Amino acid sequence: MALRRIQKELVDLAKNPPLNASAQPVSDDDILHWKGALTAPDTSAYKGGTFQLTIEFPPDYPFKPPSIKFTTKIYHPNVDDDGTICIGLLKTEVWKPSTKIADVLIALVDLLQNPVPEDALQSSIAQVYNSDRPVFEKTVREWVKKYANSK
């Protein structure tokens, strides 16, 4: 079931790629292991940044969510130091089998636009986000320039 579903989603992604996001298998031999990329929207503090992801589909996908991590360092309240992402959509108790990887990619692009400090993995970053937005945005720009291939 998982392989057929993932192959169908791969075809759908090629036909209708989500805005500011892409994903594909790392190799033809392993359809469960993907790499992805997010390009931050121009209206985001992360603008100019391209962020790489690893995407691991479980054997029982779509009944369990994929595991997704940032491999690009990012200063974000919802992403911890090892790239783990806190987003409601990927939580096992919230995940729905009807959710597609394109939906997840769109949600991750939105997370770049709209951090959720009340669901933070990095409470110190959330505190800066909530209390001093100019400092938060300055730090984001510095990290984008340093780590996310900013122009």
To 5 degrees, how large is the angle CA 86–CA 91–CA 95? 135
Catalytic annotation, pick one of 10, 32, 37, 86: 86
Neighbours of 57 (CB within 10 A): 24
Strand order in the sheet with 21-27: 21-27, 30-39, 50-56, 67-70
Active site residue 36: no
Tokens of 15: 């036909």
Active-site positions read 86
